[in-house]
Amino acid sequence: MVLGLTIGALVSLICGLDRVAILQVMISRPIVAAPLTALLLGDPMIGLQIGVMVELLWLARLPVGAAVPPDDTQVAIAGSVLVIILGQSLPASGTELLLLCLFVTIPLGKVGQYFDRYARQYNVRLVKRVSAALSRGSFLAAEGQHLRGLISFSLSSLGTYTIIILGGWSVIPILWPYVQQPLSYSSSWMQLAFPLVGITVILGTINVSRAITLFCASFCMAFLLMWLV
């Protein structure tokens, strides 16, 4: 269990930095981060399911300029960790547990947004330090200050991960006995609903005229094709 949480934290750190601070090769997207976490914990299919459900939710929230979207990376990673670890310790498994974990973790994505803002706010003080270092001609110190920013972003990622894990850990075992049965009536439909809600948000906010018309046409075409063939 401790090993699982540590692996999760490691993935959370690397993928979290990819979000803003370095690289931007998109290993921070839920469709990559969740299966990766789950693979390392030994059950990649769970990660894939979580990736499908979380990937599209906040895809429409673009990281444009100074705008900070909710942290779907940490939701995906912590969600996968919770499902796999709680699945071993609780008498629980299956889609219902996965759904319950997401109900708890998704709202906590907002915490990540808050931490991310805080990290960027904290980094403002680096500006003064860099200019002070440059004024006295110590370039190495100035370069070091830039890398100091990585610490803020790392702490923001790990902090979000920890809070989501703690939140999930304390709430899910309590809720589980109550929701397991009721959830089982509709679990597969909810699993379907998550990506569809994400798609509707994309349609509602994407900068394409008549996005909804185009979507409906494509949906109907594809649907008829599958129906008739």
Partner 1 sequence: MALVLTRIDNRLIHGQVLEAWVPFVQADCIVVANDEIAGNPLQKMMMEASVPSRMLVEIGTVAETILLLNSTRLNRRRVLLLFGTTADAVRAYQGGLIYERLNLGNLQAYKGKARLSCTLFLDPADLDDLALLDQTGVKITARCIPADGERPWKKLIPAAKGGV
Partner 2 sequence: MAISRRTRLHIWFRLLLLQASWNFETLQGIGFFYALFPGLRKLYSKEKLPEVSLKYIDYFNTHVYFAPLVAGAVLRLEEDRASGSVAAEVEIEDFKEMVAAPYAAIGDAFFWGGLRPLAAGVALFFAVKGILWAPLIFLLLYNIVPIWIRTVFFSRGYHQGLKSVEFIQRHKLPDLAIHTKETAVVVLGGLSALMVFSQLTEHQLPSWLGMLTLIPMIMLGLVARKGFSTLLLVIITVSTIFLLGLFWADVVQLIVF
Task: Tell me which of partner 1, partner 2, none is bound by residue 166, counting a contact when its beta carbon lies within the kind-specific cut-off of 5 to 8 angstroms.
Answer: none
Does 195 engage in binding with partner 2 (CB under 8 A)?
yes
Using CA atoms, how far apart are residues 81 and 141, in angstroms rounded to an integer?
38
Alpha carbons 76 and 112: distance in angstroms, whole number: 12
180 binds partner 2 (CB under 8 A): no
Decide: is 207 part of the binding site for partner 1 (CB under 8 A): yes
2 touches partner 1 by CB under 8 A: no
Q: What is the DSSP letter of 61?
A: S
Virtual CA dihedral for 81, 48, 61, 9, nearest 10 degrees?
30
Question: Which of 11, 54 has the CB closer to partner 1?
Answer: 54
Is residue 59 near partner 2 by the rule CB under 8 A?
Answer: yes
User: Considering the complex, what minimum distance in angstroms separates the CB of residue 180 from partner 1?
Assistant: 34
Residue 180 tokens, joined: 């397991």
Where in 26-45 is the site for partner 2 (CB under 8 A)?
A: 26-27, 29, 31-32, 35-36, 44-45
Query: x/- string (CB under 8 A) for partner 1, residues 106-145?
Result: -----------x--xx------------------------
Cβ neighbours of residue 162 closer than 8 Å, sequence gap 6 or more = 9
Burial (CB < 10 A; 0-12, 13-18, 19+), residue 223, is: exposed
Q: Of how many residues is the chain composed? A: 229
205 touches partner 1 (CB under 8 A): yes
- What is the rounded CA–CA span in Å between residue 126 and residue 142? 9
Residue number with CB closer to partner 1 (24 or 184): 24
